Amino acid sequence: MNETTPARHFEEAAVSPRATPAVRIDPAKLAANIARMAGIAKAAAAELHPHVKTHKSVEIARMQVAAGAAGVTASKPSEALVFVRAGLPSVTVAYPLMRKEAAAALMTAAKGTGSRLRFIAAHAVHLEVLEAAARETGSIAEVFLKVDTGLARIGVTAGSGAAAVLAHILAASPSLRYLGLLSHAGHAYGAPEPARRAEIAAQELAQLRAVQAEVAPVLGLPGRISVGSTPTCLGAPVQRGSDELRPGNYAFLDMTAVRLGLCSPEEIALSVEATVIFAAPGRAVIDAGSKELSSDKGAHGTGGDVGHGRIEVVRGGQSHVLTVARLSEEHGVIADPDGLLAVGEQVRVLPNHACAVAALAPRLWLGDREIAVDARGCTD
Q: Between residue 251 and residue 290, which ones bind its own copies under the rule CB under 8 A?
A: 275, 277-280, 283, 285, 287, 290
Contact 56, 358 (CB under 8 A): yes
Interacting residue with its own copies among 42, 89, 160, 206 (CB under 8 A)? 160
Q: Residue 376 Cβ, how far from its own copies at the closest point, in Å?
A: 8
By three-state DSSP, how is residue 61 classified? helix
DSSP per residue over 257-291, as a string?
Answer: HHHTTSS-GGG--EEEEEEEEEEETEEEEES--HH
* By CB under 8 A, residue 359 contacts its own copies: yes
* By CB under 8 A, residue 166 contacts its own copies: yes
Q: Residue 37 Cβ, how far from its own copies at the closest point, in Å?
A: 19
Distances (CA, A) of 261 to 95, 266, 369: 29, 13, 31
* By CB under 8 A, residue 20 contacts its own copies: yes
Segment interacting with its own copies, rule: CB under 8 A, options 16-24, 26-34, 38-46, 232-240? 16-24
Q: Would you say 134 or 276 has its CB closer to its own copies? A: 276
Q: Would you say 266 or 370 has its CB closer to its own copies? A: 370
Residues 6+ apart with CB under 8 A from 237: 198, 201
Q: Would you say 32 or 372 has its CB closer to its own copies? A: 372
Contacts (CB under 8 A) with its own copies, residues 201-220? none
CA atoms of 353 and 256, how far apart (whole Å): 6
* By CB under 8 A, residue 299 contacts its own copies: yes
Interacting residue with its own copies among 38, 59, 76, 132 (CB under 8 A)? 76
Interacting residue with its own copies among 42, 99, 240, 320 (CB under 8 A)? 99
* By CB under 8 A, residue 360 contacts its own copies: yes
* By CB under 8 A, residue 377 contacts its own copies: yes
